[in-house]
Structure 1
Amino acid sequence: MFESCRGRQDLVICGVSGGVYAPQTPQIVLGTSHRCPPTRSTSAAIRSDCSCPEPCQTASMTKSNPLLLAIGVLLVGYGTNVSTPLLVLYKERLDLGDSATMAIFTVYVLGIFATLLLAGPVSDRFGRRITCVPFVALSALASLVLILGRDSFLMLLFARFLLGAVSGVVLGVGAAWMQELMGPGHEQRAAVLSTVVAYFGFGLGPPISALIEQLGADPFVWPYVLHAALTLAFVPLMFRLPETVTFSERPPPLRPQLGVPPLALRTFWLVIVPATIWVFSFPSTSFALFPVIVSDAIPGYEVVVAAASGTLTAWSALLARPIIARIGARASIPLALIAGTIGYVLGTIAFATDAWGFVLPAAVLLGGASGTITAASLGVLGEMADPATRGALNSTVFILAYPGMAMPIVLTSVGSITGLTAALVGVTLLATIAAAWAVTAFRRNVTLVA
């Protein structure tokens, strides 16, 4: 796997520290001959000598790295939704109301913001690996805490908070890490890959939990044990991933920042921001709200329907790959918002008429919309990102997206005043306005890159 780098003419990633080393001798980087000390650039260099520590691993020998990272992201996504189809059981076991049940799901958002604001800048300064990998391990710990919380509402809230903290780091930093592992020119592919594996993981939790419950095993214990065991077994392999951030004498500031390049500001505010606030507003209703509010219409099958809805929501995000490949990231955003709006319409019909079957096609539309907006937004911004602030930029996308996880509790809270049907109609109208705005922006060619 490792060999001496002396005399190599390509980019070298050091097998000792994982850093990308630029030699002190003259070289050509992006067509410009100059002497360069270690910098944050991960661009390939045509070089005559190598002064990095031996042994070294060449960039051409790291094809397995994106796969290792993808599995880590998948495991975090999986852990996030192990408890989701069990919400109806927690509601009965702990005698909770609708809003308290939704709080178990949405407290996750508080954990996300506890880490997401600083995770990107920290990883830009100290590295992706040291920031990301420990939080993958923390995902396993959160599952074990959920076992302890099976009879405690407060413990459940704490465990879900921990899962949010994990996601805040791993999804944002992992997306930046994936783009750097796959290299310049592959930003959109990396964005799609990191999105697809995260959503595939989101979709694993519900059916596994439902299967364990149907087999008669304790659903409040064994789904979490399985996730914790798989995660802890895999974490040591992630330490083999190379560090893609190299360290300069002037590191980026360690403070919350957007990381948006000046040339991307117009795209960011007029296209990305209005779209990404729906990234989790769409699927959170399908994961957590619709199965709960139609549960009275499906006695005895609540967990099965909740699991089916959750899995369809998550795995429909895989539609992002063919959609973006066919029509491009720019056109995918308005299409996704239209699909999500239709999903809200179907969910509202399911609740208002007890026609619970509409929840399932709604899940497909809401999940597909979420995955497509995520991948398209990360890809569009990734092509314009400054490598020194890539982590902050990717984290910013998720900062905008994750408040949508609170949509179920917002709707039940508003619904307690106006009636839930009126609340659902209201949010559907807001989604319609967002879709109309995105279509208008696309027709006026607001975005700067395809």
Structure 2
Amino acid sequence: MSTATRSSGVAVASAGRHLAGFWFVAAAFLTLMAFGTVPTPLWPIYQVRDGFGATTVTVAFAVLVVGTGASFRLLGHLSDRLGRRRVIVPGLLVAILADAVLAFWPDLPGLIVGRVLTGVAIGLIASTATAYLSDLYHEARPERDGSAAPALVATAVNLGGLALGPLAAGVLAQWAPSPLRTPYIIFGVLMAGLLVLVLASPETIDTEAADQDRPVRFALRPGQRAAFGAAAAVGFFAFAVMGLFASLGAIIVRGELGITSYFVAGLVPFAAFAASAVAQLALGRLAESTVLLIGGLLFPIGLALTAVSLYQPTLWLALTSAALAGGGAGLLIKSGVTQAAIVAVPASRAGVLAMFFIIAYVGMGLPSIAFSLVIQHVALRPSMIGFASVLSVGAFIAIVIARRSAAVTR
């Protein structure tokens, strides 16, 4: 066998390992994000069992942001220096620990601890997995340098996972025994299996060189701070809609529609998150300016119909409005992630994405908490109109700035 033939065989084997690793990491990312929304259709069960109000439910959901923000801020950049796999593996271990806490300590303190740990796991993995997928794809398909495929897969599995969590948990809560334990046990087993596969995936960071270079935690290309700020603002408003459906969607379905099925309760948040993923897969390859434009149109239309659905409480309208709002939000998130990655210094990509997700996840938590507090004093319907209006105006301003910044960047 000639040297050229051996080299070719090694290159093919290496490309195969990196491509397999790409899908292993994508599956782990998908499962983790699904685990993050498993409690969504279960909130009514917790609410009835323990007498929670809407605010307590929202806070129990949103404390995830505390763990996520701290993890993104303190640890999200580390994979640029320590290696992608060395950060994702501990992240999966923390997620498995969180899963065990939620499964076997279902009281409010356990919910809080489990959700904070879930946030820590998401903070460790989300930005790292996004960067890792880009690295693995580049190693597997070097001839496709600059391809949008890894960013598209990353954002699709991120939101696709958020969609699968409520659907799977709703099915299990409706038809499986122990609805507050069975979903967590199943997801714990899945994450343990994927942990083994991720351990078998190749590392893509030269840790010795990265340790010598000590990449800056957060470094943008010159003159790109406004572009990053606009991208992060788009992410903030888009994730705010996702937070609303994830925290209060099932409770609104139960209270406004009078539907007690846990499976149906999971359908509204599923519709929002699934539409996000589908919109990205269907339209994500369009020009970024077009993606922003379409997302910017679907976003307020979906929010307006969400408010209308409270005055005309029918399941089809609730699902349609959730899908339109979610589809618009998904396109905005995809655009924000892409823009954040573009303006980052390559050696600081994970750190920049970590900062993007900190801002986005704050958007997922704080507006929902504010909304749950407002509806204690103001009726739900006018509160939703105000919420939809504020988010739509904020998103519009962020989109305008982001489109201008993207034109300058390119």
Q: TM-score, normalised by structure 2?
A: 0.89
Provide the residue aligned with 2:212 in structure 1: 250
Segments ≥4 residues shifted beyond 6 Å: 4-7, 9-12
Contact 2:268 2:319 in 1 (8 A): yes
Contact 1:188 1:380 in 2 (8 A): no
Asked if 1:132 is matched to 2:97, the reply is: no
* Cα shift at 1:289: 1.8
Provide the residue aligned with 1:103 in structure 2: 59
Provide the residue aligned with 1:154 in structure 2: 109
Aligned pair in 2 of structure 1 residues 403, 96: CA closer, same or farther (>3 Å)? Answer: same
Which secondary structure state, in structure 1, belongs to the residue aligned with residue 213 of structure 2?
A: coil
Separation (CA, whole Å) in 2 of partners of 1:238 and 1:439: 36
Match of 1:226 among 182, 186, 189: 186
Provide the residue aligned with 2:351 in structure 1: 392
* Cα shift at 1:379: 2.0
Asked if 1:170 is matched to 2:125, the reply is: yes
Q: What per-residue deviation string (whole Å, max 9, x for no partner) do you get for residues 263-309 of structure 1?
A: 4333223x313311123111121222233124124445342222111
Provide the residue aligned with 1:34 in structure 2: none
Provide the residue aligned with 1:268 in structure 2: 228
Q: TM-score, normalised by structure 1?
A: 0.81
Provide the residue aligned with 2:31 in structure 1: 75
Aligned pair in 2 of structure 1 residues 221, 7: CA closer, same or farther (>3 Å)? Answer: closer
Contact 1:286 1:366 in 2 (8 A): no
Q: Which consecutive unaligned segments of at least 5 residues does structure 2 have?
A: none
Provide the residue aligned with 1:240 in structure 2: 200
Find the structure with the greater CA-based Rg: 1
Separation (CA, whole Å) in 2 of partners of 1:59 and 1:263: 36
Asked if 1:191 is matched to 2:147, the reply is: no
Separation (CA, whole Å) in 1 of partners of 2:35 and 2:4: 40
Provide the residue aligned with 1:417 in structure 2: 377
Matched-pair identity in %: 22
* Cα shift at 1:196: 0.8
* Cα shift at 1:87: 0.4
Provide the residue aligned with 1:280 in structure 2: 239
Contact 1:275 1:337 in 2 (8 A): no
Q: Which consecutive unaligned segments of at least 5 residues does structure 1 have?
A: 13-55
* Cα shift at 1:361: 1.1
* Cα shift at 1:432: 2.6
- Quick one: which amino acid aligns to residue 100 of structure 1? T
Separation (CA, whole Å) in 2 of partners of 1:146 and 1:10: 47
Provide the residue aligned with 1:19 in structure 2: none
Aligned pair in 2 of structure 1 residues 215, 61: CA closer, same or farther (>3 Å)? Answer: closer
Asked if 1:123 is matched to 2:73, the reply is: no
Number of equivalent positions: 399
Provide the residue aligned with 2:364 in structure 1: 405
Bigger helix fraction:
2
Provide the residue aligned with 2:282 in structure 1: 322
* Cα shift at 1:352: 3.9
Moved more, 271-280 or 437-446: 437-446
Separation (CA, whole Å) in 2 of partners of 1:7 and 1:228: 42
Aligned pair in 2 of structure 1 residues 435, 402: CA closer, same or farther (>3 Å)? Answer: closer
User: Aligned runs of 1:39-50 on 2, under 5 Å?
Assistant: none
Provide the residue aligned with 1:63 in structure 2: 19
* Cα shift at 1:439: 5.6
Separation (CA, whole Å) in 1 of partners of 2:303 and 2:223: 34
Q: Which has the higher contact order (CA 8 A, sep 6+)?
A: 2
